[in-house]
Amino acid sequence: MKELYEKLLELLGGIEEIRYIDLDAGQLQVEQPPISYPAVLIKLSESSQEINHVHRTITGHIELTVIDKYISETHSLAPEQVRERGLKYLELNEKIDKALQGYKDKRFEPFSNLSKEDRQIRTGLKTTVQKWETAWKNVPSS
């Protein structure tokens, strides 16, 4: 899973708006989270399917919590410029989708987005949880 985390750091690191990327260690559970916004917290898990007695296909399950401060009104009565500022976190989610969707290399099969869900985790923050998958073959050590 370390390789998957490193790849996510590389891909997400190319999005200039993101100021903080880390493994999710419960940072949002403390009164003043020790992160800079916008941020992405990453949870990883994996499952595997045996191909034969030596090789397996591993599926990496990725959960990205995309977090930004609620900085502006988004309601229908807000002036358009005000509403646009408030919707910047949606643009960030689109940039993340563009960076990850279909990405593949020699190690990883194409990344696929399974879902995006707007969650209210903490007052004053806009959070979207994105779920992704990719797969790779394990290579046994010689």
- Contact (Cβ atoms closer than 8 angstroms) between residue 33 and residue 137: no
Residues belonging to the chain: 142
For position 142, what pLDDT does the model report?
Answer: 54
What H or E segment, with its residue span, contains residue 13? helix 2-13
Alpha-carbon dihedral angle through residues 134, 116, 128, 1, given to the nearest 10 degrees: -10
Q: What is the pLDDT of residue 35?
A: 93
Map 24-73 to HEC letters.
CCCHHHCCCCCCCCCEEEEEEEEEEEECCCCCEEEEEEEEEEEEEECCCC
Per-residue pLDDT of the chain (142 residues; tens, 9 = 90+): 899 999 999 999 999 999 999 999 999 888 888 899 999 999 999 998 877 767 889 999 999 999 988 766 666 777 677 777 767 788 899 999 999 999 999 999 999 999 999 888 877 788 999 999 999 998 665 5
Which fold does the domain 2-137 belong to in CATH? STM4215-like (3.30.2000)
Report pLDDT for 32.
86
Beta-bridge partners for 137: 57
pLDDT given for residue 42 in this prediction = 98
Residue 119 pLDDT: 86
Q: Which residue has the tokens 């949606």?
A: 90
Structure tokens at 68: 């930004």
- Look at residue 72 in the predicted model and tell me its pLDDT: 65
pTM to 2 decimal places: 0.87
